[in-house]
Amino acid sequence: MSAQEAPIIRFDKVNKWYASNGYHVLRDINLDFAKGEKVVICGPSGSGKSTLIRCVNALEEYQEGQLTVDGTVVGDDLKGIDRVRREVGMVFQQFNLFPHLTVLENLILSPTWVARTPRNEAIDKAMAQLERVRIAEHAHKYPLQLSGGQQQRVAIARALCLKPKIMLFDEPTSALDPEMIKEVLDVMIGLADQGMTMLCVTHEMGFAKAVADRVIFMDQGQVVEQNTPEEFFNHPQNERSQDFLSKILGH
């Protein structure tokens, strides 16, 4: 990572509490992400890793500190949030495709209504994205007619239609049957090879080793350790990291 370029995402002493029970879910997060960097965030459940990446596109609010995404401070400013959401694409664990629209309609929804792209142009671009994730032949099907892996690939294509600078992945393969995980990971690897900035919360260590520039380990709302994949997986420094790795690499 070059020191001259400004980070595309910067967490500066970010703290978050849950409003419902006051739980301190993110504690003093100080992180920088460079453009084109691919980062895997892992940790036990409840460690705040999903909450962390959901702050980037303002699906979660934070109370202390400052989060800057591509030069815009993410905070109460609604215009700022809109700007950020156009630059950041997100893929959910539960896909969240719109079941009442076809695959193609799912993809062109945002370009036509937010970016004001003419419909035909949006369709062409959408079909290109569908080709990219190798699912173009299902363009006119409805989401529930596809398998889980196919749906998730459509979800990735839908996020890509915004031409985002950053892609967030929140446990994209956790809801999939094992035989479908590979097809989604292949798409994500392809995306990585094309230079996309990616933040992935995932347990897929093979993916991390293949693609990630950095692995961040979180526990109880804090960044415990961050390192290159080789270093982290083979020589974890902190005993919490060691404990976690022994649990997930064991099976």
Give the residues lining the site for another protein (CB under 8 A): 1, 15, 17, 22-24, 27-28, 30-32, 57, 59, 63-64, 82, 85-86, 88-90, 92, 94, 96-100, 109-110, 112-120, 141-142, 144-146, 158-159, 162, 214, 220-228, 231, 237-239
By C-beta, is 155 or 188 nearer to another protein?
155
3: its two tokens: 């020191």
By C-beta, is 139 or 146 nearer to another protein?
146
CA 211 to chain centre: 14
Q: What's the rounded Cα separation, in Å, for the pair 245 and 241?
A: 6
By C-beta, is 128 or 237 nearer to another protein?
237
- Smallest distance from the beta carbon of 135 to another protein, in angstroms? 16
Q: Which residues, in sequence order, are CB contacts of 143 under 8 Å at separation 6+?
A: 95, 97, 98, 99, 101, 103, 106, 151, 154
Q: What's the rounded Cα separation, in Å, for the pair 85 and 68?
A: 13
By C-beta, is 42 or 224 nearer to another protein?
224
Q: Which residues, in sequence order, are CB contacts of 244 under 8 Å at separation 6+?
A: 42, 43, 44, 217, 219
Q: What's the rounded Cα separation, in Å, for the pair 4 and 129?
A: 33
3-state secondary structure of 229: helix
Q: What's the rounded Cα separation, in Å, for the pair 29 and 208?
A: 21
Contact of 30 with 13, CB cutoff 8 Å: yes
Q: How far is CA 88 from CA 32, 77, 144, 217, in A?
A: 16, 16, 26, 22
By C-beta, is 109 or 189 nearer to another protein?
109
By C-beta, is 115 or 210 nearer to another protein?
115
